[in-house]
Amino acid sequence: MAGIDYSERIPNNVSLGDNRRLQRALEEWQPKFIDWWMSMGPDGFQQKDVYLRTAVSVDAQGWAQFDYVRMPEYRWGLFLAEPEAGRTIGFGDHLGAPCWQDVPGEYRGVLRRLIVTQGDTEPASVEQQRHLGATCPSLYDLRNLFQINVEEGRHLWAMVYLLDAYFGRDGREESEALLQRRSGDRDKPRILGAFNEKTPDWLSYLMFTYFTDRDGKYQLASLAESGFDPLSRTCRFMLTEEAHHLFVGETGIGRVVQRTCELMREGKTDDVRRLGGIDLETLQKYINFHYSVSLDLFGSEVSTNAANFYTMGLKGRFEESKKKDDHRLKDATYTVSELAGDRITTREAPALPSLNERLRDDYIADCQRGVDRWNQIIKKHEIDFELRLPNRGFRRAIGLFAEVKVSPDGLVLSEAAWDSNKHAWLPTEADQAYVQSLMRPVTERGRFASWIAPPARGVNSQPVDFEYVRLA
């Protein structure tokens, strides 16, 4: 890759052209990234022209430029939000001190671990989604999938930039390892649970973008509060792109709900499977699964890691700077869940180790807002059904609830009661086979698969029947 003008090839606002050491590190990493992208990125579409948004700068005009691009030629840029003059650390033991422009030596290991954990999720999601192109429900959806994939690629670049620019040799080793782990691989899995699950169909993908990408929003927002300024600025810019991923999830599931309701009304039946739709009960089961897997991503209810991240000034709360308390939380308490025999109750716990639970609470409230909007669609069709988020203890693998079985209503169950009911709460093999049977590609302009309604509008003011991906 020698000879490439990197400041031209990699749009950036980090003065890449002036930093020879960083350029060399990225020059070594870039061909490995491309190898990874070609072997683990979207399967079967690498040579197609896709109508994509590329960020070429962070200002209003520059961050969303649309044109046809072949994905391997996407310009994965390095962008930090503009610096805030005089920014100080907003929480923890260093409250009020100037933000760090370099890695504080005593926190090097912890900070690297946080950045690696964040970075690891980005390529993982691309790997999870790599076979979906073959069964797209429309060109519009296909394009959105690829947009998300290239931006997850860019988010990987964003974390690799931090590792290479600030962590020397260790950082370069971590950058390599990010390309070597594989989602779902037994020997070298991705770090966090949800990123080793399969995304075998488009319903799972839309659920993933609604629930799992939303964890991304909350984690990035907490890291955007960081006293390590380069991390804060990187995450702030990533959040602008993240909004589109959440849009795809929320409107995507909304369109499935819409289509199901239309089929129920038109066919005067609840049995929409006969008509090629996805019944509301199955949607509920997919919600149960993806929500519970995503709740695990917030870690344990009581976590010394979380307390340390905060006290050290590395990871704040969601909207930390808007909160009106002492931003140290040494004497504060927070309400966390507790198991009392076979009941779930709450207790007051020290606030610092409860920070994961607090972030999970913010996330749950946000998840509920989308569910309410989907229920509005159902109500408009005068159908008597309500989608719900299951209890936070349902099907958890991390934290307090990992050792018990909890029903969607929040009852602690015996193993036997769980086993005899779980088919009603989680997708069964038959449900999955049915959803899989719907996954046939629809690639004619303006047409949509039987199980999903068209979107309200197209991308970047283009019509819904625009040629979002040129397949010919």
Residues making contact with ligand BYC (CB under 6 A): 114, 117-118, 121-122, 125, 152, 192-193, 212-213, 215-216, 219, 296-300, 303, 305-306, 315, 356, 398
CA–CA–CA angle 401, 429, 364 (5° rounding):
35
Nearer to ligand BYC among residue 122 and residue 141 (C-beta): 122
Q: Residues near 91 by Cβ (< 8 Å), separated by ≥ 6?
A: 225, 227, 310, 313, 316, 317, 320, 327, 328, 329
Q: Which residue has 């004619």 as its token pair?
A: 444
72 three-class SS: helix
Sheet bearing 469-470, strands edge to edge: 65-70, 49-54, 469-470
* HEC sequence for 157-207: HHHHHHHHHHCHHHHHHHHHHHHHCCCCCCCCCCCCHHHHCCCCCHHHHHH
Tokens of 451: 């199980």
Cβ at position 362, least distance to ligand BYC in Å: 13
Cβ at position 300, least distance to ligand BYC in Å: 3
Nearer to ligand BYC among residue 29 and residue 298 (C-beta): 298
Q: Which residue has 């009852």 as its token pair?
A: 411
d(CA 356, CA 462): 41
In 401-462, DSSP assigns E strands to 405-406, 412-413
In the complex, residue closest to ligand BYC by CB:
299
Nearer to ligand BYC among residue 22 and residue 224 (C-beta): 224
Nearer to ligand BYC among residue 300 and residue 450 (C-beta): 300
Cβ at position 208, least distance to ligand BYC in Å: 7
Cβ at position 181, least distance to ligand BYC in Å: 13
Nearer to ligand BYC among residue 249 and residue 408 (C-beta): 249
Cβ at position 123, least distance to ligand BYC in Å: 9
Nearer to ligand BYC among residue 121 and residue 260 (C-beta): 121
Task: Please spell the DSSP secondary structure of 205-269, one letter per residue.
Answer: HHHIIIIIHHHHHHHHHHHTT-SBHHHHHHHHHHHHHHHHHHHHHHHHHHHHHHHHHHHHHHHT-
C-alpha closest to that of 236 among 112, 95, 58: 58
Nearer to ligand BYC among residue 117 and residue 375 (C-beta): 117
Cβ at position 312, least distance to ligand BYC in Å: 12
280 three-class SS: helix
- Residue 350, H or E segment: strand 343-350
Nearer to ligand BYC among residue 250 and residue 296 (C-beta): 296
Nearer to ligand BYC among residue 141 and residue 242 (C-beta): 242
d(CA 300, CA 33): 33
Nearer to ligand BYC among residue 308 and residue 335 (C-beta): 308
Handedness of CA 110, 111, 115, 116 (dihedral sign): negative
DSSP character at residue 84: P
Cβ at position 125, least distance to ligand BYC in Å: 4
Nearer to ligand BYC among residue 118 and residue 284 (C-beta): 118
CB contact burial 399-437 (16+ within 10 A = b; e otherwise): bbbeebbbbbeeebbeeeebeeebeebbbeeebbeebee
Q: Which residue has 């946080």 as its token pair?
A: 114
d(CA 113, CA 134): 35
Cβ at position 27, least distance to ligand BYC in Å: 26
C-alpha closest to that of 383 among 296, 471, 265: 265
Cβ at position 262, least distance to ligand BYC in Å: 30
Cβ at position 5, least distance to ligand BYC in Å: 30
Cβ at position 345, least distance to ligand BYC in Å: 21
